[in-house]
Amino acid sequence: MRAKAIRRLLAAVAVFVVVGAAVAALLLFGGDDERPAAPPPSRPPSTTSAPSSTPPPRDPVLVVKIDNVSAARPQTGLAAADVVYVEPVEGGLTRLAAVYSGQLPPVAGPVRSARETDAELLAQYGHPTLVFSGAAPAIMDLLRAAPLTVVTELSHPGAYYRDPGRPRPHNLYTRPADLPVGTGAGPSRVLRFGVAPAGGRATTEHTVSYRAASYHLRWSAQQRRWLVSLDGSSLISSGAGQVGAATVVIQQVRVEPGRGVRDSTGSLSPFARTVGTGKVTVLRDGLAFEGTWSRPTAAEGTRFTTKDGEPLRLAKGPVWVLLVGS
């Protein structure tokens, strides 16, 4: 009996030793697995907030500088332009900047050189493509620094061709479909369209004179257009007939000596400032409205208001803007 009791005691001691060893091992080697994982170190709150401004508009915008002296007429592709700007250049003449966004004509031209006015004027369209034949070195530097995609005959020769039936330099044409099209705010965003304000003076004809060019505008109630004539002759766009505009804007701007280009008398090419404010006459619907134009910065579109401060909106359709010295 005594021997049996001793064996039971020894068995109990052995069990106690085994259990104790297991507990010790668990405490020494397995404890980390049972502890909850330490929380990750806290990160400081982000100081970068999500952009609050909406993405810039990405309408297609392409602008072609088009010649308009007598040797360049009739022009091609002019009737397809959404907006045509008439810019004063050296010698009292003018040159056209045709803005295309809704559709591109198969051919546009004759293409001529750019001027200092273009850099400021076209900034309101975001980052358009400017298509021209070339420019003086000082003007090229200015255009390359502006928000423009600069396209010339040298940079994209395959998109240009010359008409052998016309004299140089009035025979250079471009195929817009072969050119990179810029993006930005199209005319429908830059200009405000809508119903006419109250008032307005009934008129069917209006003339705008430069030193060496004269534009005559005649209202056609049948076409709902102001038909454009230049120097006594209808301004024709090949295949489309006489050019017309639903709205004509006569914008009085400050004109000062520019840089880089001189006429035969040595006078610098004029620079028409389109940032600022001034008087404006808006022709639409057979009516003439007098008011004010305003453009605080180059990146903003031009706004027109009546003498009473009411919005002076444009009629839907092609727009011609004539920049004239105030």
CA torsion 187-189-194-199 (nearest 10°) is -80
* Inter-residue contact 206 to 277 (CB < 8 Å): no
Q: How confident is the model at residue 326 (pLDDT cuts 50, 70, 90)?
A: confident
Residue 23 included in any domain: no
pLDDT digits (tens, 9 = 90+) for 165-190: 999 999 999 999 999 999 999 999 99
Mean pLDDT of 141-168: 95
Decide if 43 is inside a domain. no
Which residues, in sequence order, are bridge partners of residue 57? none
Whether residue 53 lies inside any domain: the answer is: no
Q: Which band of pLDDT confidence, cut at 50, 70 and 90, is reported for residue 57?
A: confident
CATH number of the domain bearing residue 276: 3.50.90.10
What's the pLDDT at 26?
Answer: 32
147 belongs to a structural domain: yes
Task: Give the residue numbers spanning the domain of 298.
Answer: 59-325
2 within some domain? no
Query: Is the link from the previous residue into 74 a cis peptide, with omega within 30 of 0?
Result: yes
User: What is the dihedral angle through the alpha carbons of 16, 19, 25, 26, rounded to the nearest 10 degrees?
Assistant: -140
Residue 35 has pLDDT above 90, yes or no: no
From CA 116, how far away is CA 89, in angstroms rounded?
10
Q: How many domains does the chain have?
A: 1
pLDDT band at 265 (very low <50, low <70, confident <90, very high): low
Domain presence at residue 37: no
Banded model confidence at residue 115, pLDDT cuts 50, 70, 90: very high
- 49, part of any domain: no
Q: Report CA-CA distances (Å) from 148 to 63, 114, 120, 183.
A: 10, 12, 10, 10
Largest separation between any pair of C-alpha atoms in the chain:
142
CA 106 to chain centre: 21
Residue pLDDT, tens place only, 266-307: 777 899 999 999 999 999 999 999 999 999 999 999 999 999
pLDDT at residue 72 in the model: 96
| Residues 6 or more apart in contact with residue 63 via CB below 8 angstroms | 97, 98, 99, 100, 118, 122, 125, 128, 129, 130, 131
- Domain-located, residue 123: yes
Task: Determine the Cα angle at 183 with ends 119 and 295, to 5°.
Answer: 45
Q: Name which of 4-8, 29-33, 226-230, 294-298 the model is least confident about.
A: 29-33
